[in-house]
Amino acid sequence: MTEPAEGMTARLRALSDETGGFAMLALDQRESLREMFPPLPDGSLVDDDTLTSFKRTAGSILWPLATGILLDRPLAIPQARRPDFVPESCGVILAADELHSIHGVGVVSTGLDPMVDEAFIRATGAAAIKLLVIWRREHDTVTQDLVARFLDLADRSDVASFVEGIVRPPLGEDWRDLEDRHAAILEAAEDIGRDADVYKAEVPGYKVGDVSGVREASRALTLIVGHPWVVLSNGVHQPDFASAVHEATAGGASGFLAGRAIWADTVAEPDPARAISERSVARLRELSAIVKKSRIRATGAGGSA
């Protein structure tokens, strides 16, 4: 088995396979995960314990197939120590973002979680931290300052940095068309993605049921960022995601950091553990194989399959 790609930092090696590819599982969802569960008989939403239980169940079953796992405070990592359901052999990415959500709308803005400081990061043994940024074309200093403070926290904590860009139209407006949104994904990468160790992007060039534009758009994003980047699955229909990962990695993406396309439809099952074992395991295995094959073709990196 060969070493990961030359130039990859030790921090990122902890989150990649032997080819330098990333097949990472996201379990850092908070209010969005709560809304995936059926309401309780009185109409209220499930409590934090339900979310924590699901994260532990999914993480325990799926970590062996992932090169890394993204977890949040306080639901998945409530205390300043490594979560007991993730062994040392699986790299942890700690969400350092504080998400401000509106029920039925989703995340509307983000900040830095004040509890995720250097001491907390080191205590968890995280290999990296992640920041979600809601990006609009208004190039405001608040967003730039947020990213700068996040990158400084990663440097001070001696961990890798993942910046995730989610594009939204200007306040009070809609996208002119789908191509306008596709252009924004590339603009966001240029604006906030070039200084992080890894950029996490929405699948560029994707249309529902059509991944034909993903490879070309991914090549453009690869040139813009100039370092490893990965795709997320939010906004991609689950049946399309494997094909989207195939096209994105052919265009230069180093893999994926995804959750919904892997496990979202298991949340409401009477037995989530069984559903994850029956459906999510196969999906994550397929996605991981796509990344590894793409990396072998692109870099000549070998290794036993």
CA–CA gap between residue 221 and residue 203 (Å, rounded): 10
Radius of gyration for the chain, computed over Cα atoms and rounded to the nearest angstrom: 18
Interval 195-227: pLDDT, tens: 999 999 999 999 999 999 999 999 999 999 999
User: How much is the average pLDDT of 217-240?
Assistant: 97
Question: For all residues of the chain together, what is the average pLDDT?
Answer: 94
pLDDT value of position 305: 35
In the predicted structure, residue 2 carries a pLDDT above the cut 80? no
User: How much is the average pLDDT of 256-264?
Assistant: 98
pLDDT value of position 301: 56
Q: What is the CATH number of domain 14-299?
A: 3.20.20.70
Please list the residues that pair with 257 across neighbouring strands.
24
- 73 touches 119 (CB < 8 A): no
Residue 200 among the catalytic residues:
yes
* Catalytic residue of the set 130, 200, 292, 293: 200
pLDDT value of position 150: 98
Question: What is the token pair recorded at 294?
Answer: 């793409």
Interval 152-199: pLDDT, tens: 999 999 999 999 999 999 988 999 999 999 999 999 999 999 999 999
pLDDT value of position 58: 98
pLDDT value of position 38: 94
pLDDT value of position 4: 41
Confidence of residue 299 (pLDDT cuts 50, 70, 90): confident
| pTM of the entire predicted model | 0.94
Domain definitions of the chain by residue range? 14-299
With b for 16 or more beta-carbon neighbours within 10 A and e for fewer, the 27-56 pattern comes to bbbbbbbbbbbeeeeeeeebeeebbeebbb
User: How much is the average pLDDT of 5-10?
Assistant: 59
Interval 90-120: pLDDT, tens: 999 999 999 999 998 999 999 999 999 999 9
In the predicted structure, residue 1 carries a pLDDT above the cut 50? no
Please enumerate in sequence order all residues whose Cβ is within 8 A of that of 42, keeping only pairs 6 or more positions apart, or say none: none
Confidence of residue 7 (pLDDT cuts 50, 70, 90): very low
CA–CA gap between residue 199 and residue 131 (Å, rounded): 10
pLDDT value of position 11: 82
Measure CA of the first residue to CA of the last residue in the chain; give whole Å: 9
In the predicted structure, residue 303 carries a pLDDT above the cut 70? no
pLDDT value of position 8: 60
The residue ranges of DSSP E strands in the chain, in sequence order, are 22-27, 68-71, 91-95, 97-102, 106-112, 128-135, 160-167, 198-201, 229-231, 255-258
CA–CA gap between residue 76 and residue 27 (Å, rounded): 8
Please list the residues that pair with 134 across neighbouring strands.
166
